Amino acid sequence: MSVRPLNERPLAKDMPALGDRAGSAWRTILGPLERYRLTPVIIIAVLIALAPLLFPSAYYYRVAALVYIFALAAIGLNLLMGYAGQVSLGHAGFMGIGAYAVAIGPVHLGVPGWLSLLAGAAISAIVAFVVGRPILRLKGHYLAVATLGFGLLLAIVFTNEAEWTGGPDGMSVPRLVLFGWSVRGSQTWYWVSGVCLVLGAALAFNLIASPAGRAMRAIHDSETAASVLGIDVARTKLMIFVISAIYASVAGSCLALFNGHITPDAADFLTSIELVAMVVLGGMGSIVGSLVGASVLVVLPQVLTVLHDYEHMVLGLVIMGVMIYLRSGIVPSIAMAFRGWRR
């Protein structure tokens, strides 16, 4: 935090103009003015609609669908990390619950895919509610290690309960059938995941500009101040943890249905780290940033496969470089540079 010396305070007559410009720019990008809150969502929707014009092959649809699915999970995690300020290193666990729900539901229990997706989201919400209560009392690095442990537990269960999950090799996921229409193919899933992303982004922007959203952003900066203003800190954290778990679960279900196959990798520690990396790289507290972060981390490895063995080296360098030189994350850093506004 930087506190300007008192004598540098701008004159009162200069304030309104300065305030308006800086304020509106700040809020369009980082926390939207209520009225314009859906502008970024509309822009995202238009981009999703137009992007296929540039796609030379089905492979591009496939990669883009993966971007949208991970972006959905990243947006949920960003609500928790970037807005409410609570770390989770175990969010892939919820992706795993969503993914295995749409696999186990139809295969073992005869539940239709769409209902399994909803059931998965409900289970994720319940698990998040039960686990979140005790865990969210922890702070900072302790919360990090607790969520990490939680995610790890789920991954271990998925790996070892082979008669249900197929073990380390995973299991195949039956195609989603909606009203007799079989949802399959990269192009179809491009649109399905695109719609999910737009809906998820819209809900997130709604939340941020709402009373509950303000409460959740308040506890990020000062739990003490939030509580003396009547905010139930524990309940607010739990609420946002549950919501972000539902995002991850739905994304996991989409991933499993799209791939037609699921392995415990979707739920493991590395996937959790990848989600965190998407949020941080794109920019904590920036919904658009989560889409950018997901794009970078899904597309980059695809591009880097031409480098074969050098892939990880370059990936590591890119992550380090972005974090060193754009330390607030890609979108907020660019936004700040764009305004020529230094904190």
- Footprint of another protein on 214-243 (CB under 8 A): 214-215, 217-218, 220-222, 224-233, 239, 243
Among residues 63, 177, 183, 323, which is the contact residue for another protein, using CB under 8 A? 323
- Distances in whole angstroms, Cα of residue 172 to Cα of each of 26, 67, 115: 46, 21, 18
Alpha carbons 343 and 336: distance in angstroms, whole number:
9
- Distances in whole angstroms, Cα of residue 295 to Cα of each of 31, 69, 299: 21, 10, 6
Q: Cβ of residue 66: shortest distance to another protein, in angstroms? A: 19
Alpha carbons 146 and 98: distance in angstroms, whole number:
21
Q: Which of these ranges, 65-73, 107-115, 184-192, 269-277, lies near another protein under the rule CB under 8 A?
A: 269-277
Closer residue to another protein, CB minimum distance, 65 or 136:
136
Q: Which of these ranges, 91-99, 108-116, 172-180, 275-283, lies near another protein under the rule CB under 8 A?
A: 275-283
139 is a site residue for another protein (CB under 8 A): yes
Alpha carbon distance, N-terminus to C-terminus of the chain = 9
The pair phi, psi for residue 176, each rounded to 5°, is -75, 130
Query: Phi-psi region for residue 170, left (φ > 0), alpha (ψ -120 to 50) or beta?
Result: left
Among residues 252, 282, 285, 289, which is the contact residue for another protein, using CB under 8 A? 285
Closer residue to another protein, CB minimum distance, 252 or 264:
264
Residue 260 in 3-state DSSP? coil
- Distances in whole angstroms, Cα of residue 336 to Cα of each of 54, 176, 220, 269, 343: 29, 43, 21, 32, 9
Among residues 73, 146, 171, 288, which is the contact residue for another protein, using CB under 8 A? 146
Q: Cβ of residue 224: shortest distance to another protein, in angstroms? A: 5
Closer residue to another protein, CB minimum distance, 59 or 142:
142
199 is a site residue for another protein (CB under 8 A): no
Alpha carbons 176 and 281: distance in angstroms, whole number:
33
Q: Which of residues 26-65 bind another protein (CB under 8 A)?
A: 26-27, 30-31, 34, 37
Burial class of residue 300 in the structure, from the number of CB atoms within 10 Å of its CB (0-12 exposed, 13-18 middle, 19+ buried): middle
Q: Which amino acid is at 308?
A: H
Closer residue to another protein, CB minimum distance, 123 or 243:
243
Q: Which of residues 60-119 bind another protein (CB under 8 A)?
A: 81, 87
Closer residue to another protein, CB minimum distance, 64 or 267:
267
Contact criterion met (CB below 8 Å) for 48 and 198: yes
Nearest Cα to Cα of residue 125 among 250, 222, 258, 232: 250
How crowded is residue 46: how many other Cβ atoms within 10 Å of its Cβ? Answer: 11
Among residues 103, 135, 171, 245, which is the contact residue for another protein, using CB under 8 A? 135
Q: Cβ of residue 215: shortest distance to another protein, in angstroms? A: 6
Closer residue to another protein, CB minimum distance, 183 or 304:
304
Q: Cβ of residue 223: shortest distance to another protein, in angstroms? A: 9
Q: Cβ of residue 58: shortest distance to another protein, in angstroms? A: 30
Size of the site for another protein (CB under 8 A): 98
